[in-house]
Amino acid sequence: MGDLVDDVVEQWGLERPEIDVSPMQVVGRVSRAAALLDRRIAKRLATFDLQPGEFDVLATLLRSGAPHRLPVGRLTSHTMVTSGAVSHRLNRLEDRGLIQRSTEPTNRRSVNVQLTPAGRDLVDAALPAHVENEDSLLAPLDVDQRRQLASLLRTLLIGHGDSLT
């Protein structure tokens, strides 16, 4: 049983046989899988009135440990998005009372972001459902296939500089 990527690769093989389009087998599938996963994750998080980026911020603060507070710069690097995107997310989350921003007493330019009790309650409620959803999205793969895929994707990402260090 084939997928759309098989069809695309086959068509290119007929149309331009002199070009090795084998990279499309990986890149096309990673792109399609990412889009599928993103849609399904967004749909599940919407049941908690959260967008994926908002959940990412709340989850990053939670996993940072007590007191669940991070400087904006560190939060930005751990969510791996632009400072503008983080700023927009923080505005939305602060408007909803899920996070609180404060300046560092010794450096007024340094802003910290902290989970509020309401933010903690929401991320605590959403996290198990999110992980369960991720597990169901990986259901076509057995445990060994999941480990192998995770390892291969880690190698690919690190090979392109995707590291928090």
Express each pLDDT in 72-107 by its tens digit.
Answer: 989 988 886 777 888 899 999 999 999 999 987 777
Ranges of each domain in the chain: 1-47, 49-136
Residue 163: what pLDDT?
Answer: 57
pLDDT per residue as tens digits for the range 1-50: 789 999 999 999 999 999 999 999 999 999 999 999 999 999 999 999 99
In angstroms, rounded to a whole number, what is the distance separating the alpha carbons of residues 162 and 156?
A: 9
With cut-offs at 50, 70 and 90, classify the pLDDT of residue 58. very high
Out of 3.40.1390.30, 3.40.50.720, 3.40.30.10, 1.10.10.10, which CATH number does the structure's domain 49-136 have? 1.10.10.10
The answer for residues whose C-beta is within 8 angstroms of residue 128's C-beta and 6 or more apart is none
User: How large is the average pLDDT for residues 150-154?
Assistant: 95
Separation CA 7–CA 65 (nearest Å) = 47
Q: CA Rg, the chain, in Å? A: 20
